Amino acid sequence: MGISDRLLGKKNVNGRPRIDAVQPPAALAGGEVRIVGSGLRPPELRRPRVHFGEVEGAVVISSDDFLVARVPEGAMTGPVVVATNGQVSNPHEVKVAVPIAENLHPVTNPALDVEGNIYVTFSGSRGQKVPVAIYKIDTNYTVKPFLAEMMNPTAIAFDREGEMYVSSRYDGTVYKVAPNGTMSAYAEGMGVATGIAFDREENLYVGDRSGTVFKIARDRQIFVFATLEPSVSAYHLAFNRHGDLYVTGPTTSSFDAIYLITPQGEVSVFYRGLGRPQGLAFDAENNLYVAASLGGKRGVVKITPDKRVSLEVAGHGLVGLAFAPGRSAVLATTNAIHHLSWGIQGRSLNE
């Protein structure tokens, strides 16, 4: 007997609540979703019950035509239903991200190699020496130490040959890291080095949170590529399929911008209106996804090429994301990594 049958008792469909939509359609545990429909609150004004699969979630706000519910711990992708006075609504699917590694400290996007292994930092506070700087999470979600000797590892990127590069906001160096975990300095003097990304020609771009985006050519010549306002935490970088660089750098404002920098280094504001935008990634359709707040709600925000904006994943503490094989995504919060079967194809790095 399913949860709907148990809540219903007798299947009296008269006066059943109805769910028309759930916004956003995906969440982490603790995230809040808005359920839209009709008959969602009993006439007696008693609070309805909301079940995510077998697990009951907390109702934050309720009315007849919408309610806000918090996704509970232990919830998984599947149906959500609303029960009022013994009547149960039609089920509506909600995608829920599953935690795969905890007790970490990422400060930007996780990174995946060509085999689908996930790499994530334990960045620590400025100047803190931690036992393990980078962890490797294999395709079976086994977490293993990968790199120990780096101070404040910040962003990770792979080139087309599968070589790993890591920035350190401690010493302003970008390191090249071999598969066995040995590392060597690739570029120095990058200020407070944060986000890094490769373009199609394999030039490496590095964000210095004090206001500069550097370009490092394949012969390791270093250029000042663009100048932006300083960030209070980090720059985060991602290229779209046309070769434009998109940059976030949260400030003290609650109305921050995403910058677009052309291959010629021309800077413009692509979109303004997000709270603390951080890690970002593109899907195969050139839609941009950003870990940010939209209208005071934290999660993953989608921005289409024509600048239509929507919250697509609800969740607290999100700092970055990366698309993964199987039309899925890896989401990073301030202390954990989650896997979301999203149904969205990420942009290929070979485009």
What's the confidence (pLDDT) of residue 184?
A: 96
Q: Strand pairing partners for 56?
A: 51
Cα–Cα dist 82/19, whole Å: 8
Residue-wise pLDDT tens digits, 190-234: 999 999 999 999 999 999 999 999 999 999 999 999 999 999 999
Structure tokens at 184: 């060597």
Looking at the chain, the whole-number percentage of residues with pLDDT higher than 90 is: 87
Structure tokens at 251: 């400030």
Residue-wise pLDDT tens digits, 19-68: 999 999 999 999 999 999 999 987 776 789 999 999 999 999 999 999 99
Q: Kindly tell me the sign of the dihedral angle through the C-alpha atoms of 310, 316, 319, 323.
A: negative
Structure tokens at 25: 């359609």
Cα–Cα dist 30/174, whole Å: 35
What's the confidence (pLDDT) of residue 85?
A: 82
Residue 261 has pLDDT above 90, yes or no: yes
The radius of gyration of the chain's CA atoms, rounded to the nearest angstrom, is 22
For residues 1-17, b (16+ Cβ closer than 10 Å) or e, as one string? Answer: eebbeebbeeeeeeebb
From edge to edge, which strands make up the β-sheet containing 153-158? 153-158, 164-168, 173-177, 183-187
Dihedral of the alpha carbons of 20, 22, 24, 29, in degrees to the nearest 10: -170
Residue-wise pLDDT tens digits, 280-319: 999 999 999 999 999 999 999 999 999 999 999 999 999 9
Residue 1 has pLDDT above 60, yes or no: no
Q: Kindly tell me the burial class for residue 74, based on how many C-beta atoms sit within 10 Å of its own C-beta (0-12, 13-18, 19 or more).
A: exposed
What's the confidence (pLDDT) of residue 81?
A: 97
Ordered structural domains, the chain, with CATH: 3-96 (2.60.40.10), 98-340 (2.120.10.30)
